[in-house]
């Protein structure tokens, strides 16, 4: 009897878990097979779906770029996987991306992972659809009109100049990525949310920057809201940000509308007032958080990449300075230098090419998310209704045939117009189609101003040489890019 009990206990302990695992694997295989749309003759893309229930999310979260490189090398430009709880197709290449970006509302619709929707909120621009998206975008676009952008330039110039001056005072080194994040955060707080400089002392600013870092780090996580999970941490960080923005909104609500030249948050408040809508505090907080996220995270990544590429290619810095000198922007003390305007920024062709080349090699956002509204065929493969679709920006740039010597940092390639319209989706740092980045002109002007102030104010050395880049979810250097800055002595370049 004891032997029977021992055998039974052993079987339950060892065999039952194995049977349950095999059953789970079998059910997962059946689920993956049933995902295929039997009414479509085309096959599913190649690829694997990973572990039962978890799919390949853990591999993506832990390995990031390495995981994506291995998958694309093995399966090509269109492959299937299972991420963030959903069957997913990841695509790259100009023609494939063109069909997705221009297929908005016909084949696909924006659909970020559940963790992103939960943390950023259902009422921010990225998660709105149809007429709601159209009306919100129209209101926000007022903050990026030509007149508004012109009024932003002096603030950008002031903040960037002050930051670079402080970097040059540091005799050892500056960790560039954290420093640039603080700079871009200040600029976004002032221009997009209307914070005054006196409201942004370091004691209040630093906790907000840290909260944004925590929120960003956990945007793409498993949709499980329990203590110590990524989603739980991301929501706690978001609540800190919402509390600060809530104070600012309440101050704005006590003021009368001021007309043109206002920040984006004020314009959203005025938009609600004009339409006679009740003020939706949650929607405003979510929109403001999204503006701050888009307005400083991506520009900080791009500005850090600019310092990297220019630090490694001094001859490009010399060419930028030659262009600045030709416009009278190089000589003189900082307070004597010619102030920047929108018109001057648009005249700096080579400086613009430097920015484009940086965004080609190191786009801050690696891609975008869509969901298939109906089953359709892409590159010979079926994309079933309800599947997520991820398009890759970085891989599409790498595959583009219009860029010879793709690994080389060569801004001159953008001096010559591309041959035809078919190349339009070979360079998509801001996405494309009706969902292209709403603040792209703001970002371009901010980053061109950054290049100008950097090149006419200082020289710098990357202390660790070329950095290793990582994505989580925004591209940045693993070592934070330790760099030494020193004043540039203006002379004939």
pLDDT recorded at residue 334: 59
* CB distance 140 to 271 below 8 Å: no
Cα gap 329→332, rounded to integer Å: 9
pLDDT tens profile 369-393: 999 999 999 999 999 999 999 999 9
Most confidently modeled of 32-41, 249-258, 292-301, 328-337? 292-301
Lowest mean pLDDT among 147-161, 230-244, 281-295: 281-295
pLDDT tens profile 457-485: 999 999 999 999 988 778 999 999 999 99
Instruction: Kindly state the percentage of the chain with pLDDT values over 90.
Output: 51
Alpha-carbon distance values, 232 to 117, 184, 214, 278, 469 (Å): 13, 26, 11, 30, 27
Q: With a cut of 50, say whether residue 166 has pLDDT above it.
A: yes
Q: Which domains does the chain have, with CATH numbers?
A: 35-487 (1.10.630.10)
Instruction: Kindly state the percentage of the chain with pLDDT values over 70.
Output: 88
What radius of gyration, in Å, describes the C-alpha atoms of the chain? Answer: 25
Of 425 and 130, more confident: 425
Mean of all residue pLDDT scores within the chain: 87
Taking alpha carbons only, the member of 367, 357, 365, 366 closest to residue 306 is 357
Predicted structure pTM score: 0.88
Q: At 153, phi and psi to the nearest 5? A: -55, -50
What's the pLDDT band for 270 if we cut at 50, 70, 90? Answer: confident
Of 172 and 315, more confident: 315
Tokens for 353, please give them.
């090419």
Average pLDDT score over residue span 303-322 = 97
What's the pLDDT band for 19 if we cut at 50, 70, 90? Answer: low
Taking alpha carbons only, the member of 22, 24, 40, 20 closest to residue 32 is 24
Of 93 and 331, more confident: 93
Cα gap 170→168, rounded to integer Å: 5
Cα gap 489→475, rounded to integer Å: 32
């Amino acid at each position: 009897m004891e032997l029977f009990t021992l055998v039974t206990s052993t079987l339950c302990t060892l065999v039952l878990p194995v049977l349950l695992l095999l059953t789970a694997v079998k059910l997962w295989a059946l689920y993956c097979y049933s995902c295929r749309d039997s009414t479509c003759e085309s096959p599913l893309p190649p690829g694997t779906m990973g572990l039962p229930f978890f799919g390949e999310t853990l591999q993506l979260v832990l390995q990031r770029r390495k995981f994506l490189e291995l998958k694309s090398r093995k399966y090509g430009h269109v492959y299937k996987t299972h991420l963030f709880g959903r069957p997913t197709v990841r695509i790259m290449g100009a023609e494939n991306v063109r069909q997705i970006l221009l297929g908005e509302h016909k084949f696909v619709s924006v659909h970020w992972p559940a963790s992103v929707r939960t943390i950023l909120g259902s009422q921010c621009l990225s998660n709105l659809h149809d007429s709601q998206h159209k009306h919100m975008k129209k209101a926000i676009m007022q903050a990026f009109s030509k007149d508004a952008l012109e009024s932003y330039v002096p603030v950008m110039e002031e903040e960037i100049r002050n930051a670079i001056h402080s970097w040059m005072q540091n005799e050892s080194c500056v960790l560039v990525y954290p420093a640039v994040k603080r700079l871009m955060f200040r600029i976004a707080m002032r221009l997009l949310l209307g914070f005054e400089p006196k409201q942004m002392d370091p004691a209040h600013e630093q906790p907000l920057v840290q909260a944004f870092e925590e929120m960003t780090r956990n945007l793409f996580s498993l949709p499980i809201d329990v203590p110590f999970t990524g989603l739980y941490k991301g929501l706690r960080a978001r609540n800190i940000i919402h509390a600060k923005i809530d104070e600012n909104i309440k101050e704005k609500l006590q003021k009368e509308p001021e007309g043109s030249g206002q920040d984006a948050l004020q314009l959203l408040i005025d938009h609600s007032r004009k339409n006679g809508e009740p003020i939706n505090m949650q929607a405003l907080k979510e929109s403001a958080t999204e503006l701050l996220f888009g307005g400083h995270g991506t520009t900080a990544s791009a500005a850090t990449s600019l310092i990297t590429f220019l630090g490694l290619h001094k001859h490009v810095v010399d060419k930028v300075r030659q262009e600045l000198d030709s416009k009278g922007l190089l000589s003189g003390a900082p307070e004597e230098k010619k102030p920047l305007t929108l018109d001057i920024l648009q005249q700096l062709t080579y400086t613009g090419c430097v920015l484009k080349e940086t965004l080609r090699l190191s786009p801050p956002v690696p891609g975008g998310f869509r969901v298939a509204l109906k089953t359709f065929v892409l590159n010979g493969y079926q994309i079933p209704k309800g599947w997520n679709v991820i398009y890759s920006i970085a891989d599409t740039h790498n595959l583009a045939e219009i860029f010879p010597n793709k690994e080389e940092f060569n801004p001159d390639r953008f001096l010559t117009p591309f041959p035809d319209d078919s190349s339009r989706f070979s360079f998509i740092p801001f996405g494309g189609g009706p969902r292209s980045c709403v603040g792209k002109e703001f970002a371009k002007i901010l980053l061109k101003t950054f290049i100008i102030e950097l090149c006419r104010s200082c020289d710098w050395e990357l202390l660790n040489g070329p950095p290793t880049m990582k994505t989580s979810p925004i591209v940045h250097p693993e070592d934070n890019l330790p760099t030494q800055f020193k004043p540039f002595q203006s002379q004939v370049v």
